[in-house]
Structure 1
Amino acid sequence: MFYEILAEDMSFDQKMEEIAKVLPQILRYPEKASARILFGPYSYKSPVFKQGKYQISSSNIPKNEEKSHALWLELFYKDLSLKNNYEPFTSDEKQKLDFIAKILSVFIDKEIEAKKVRY
């Protein structure tokens, strides 16, 4: 799903917006989740974005960027009621989010290199 979006013939911003839309699907309750991707001064959000009480995030700094352009992926649950002290996110979900952050960092590096070659 993520690889397909990155391979599409669309702008960088459009790709980030599409990924923000589908990112909640890695969670157990995607219908109660929203996502945000932060990259430097840019923010890409899933539809009907709402920060919730429960949050999981992952960050990565692309090789060709400065710390001010760190990549952050954030997932939030809104209106989630937990029973029996269950954790809102599983370790598997965290691993998936970390993996996607790494994929996006590699993609950003390749985009930056391609721009350097063109100019």
Structure 2
Amino acid sequence: MSAMEKLKAQQAKVKEGSPQWMVAEQLMDLCRAEPACAELLDQDLEVEAMSIVEAEKKIKAFADQHEVGNFACVTPADSDRILREFYGLPRRGETTAPGPLALDLADFLG
């Protein structure tokens, strides 16, 4: 099952339009835009502690900490940052570092 399928399965268990449902939408957008993130999410979504419900709790905690009066808001940039930190994904625009280049000098000898 791919990350997208896992997200859709978890999303089907929550109310449409709920904060948890929106987390799944944001993560699916991220997977479409950054396939490398989809590979990382695919592994994380197997773990209950890494579900969309748990991810939404991190966003809610941020909103609660930044509440002014009775109003709390989380910007798209903040939610993106929180989700990337929660799932250990690279920041937007960063790529995961490629592994070391393996060279065998024998390849160059005739």
With structure 1 as the length reference, what TM-score do the two structures score? 0.27
Which has more strand, going by share of residues? 1
Q: Return the index of the structure with the highest Cα Rg.
A: 2
Which has more helix, going by share of residues? 2
With structure 2 as the length reference, what TM-score do the two structures score? 0.28
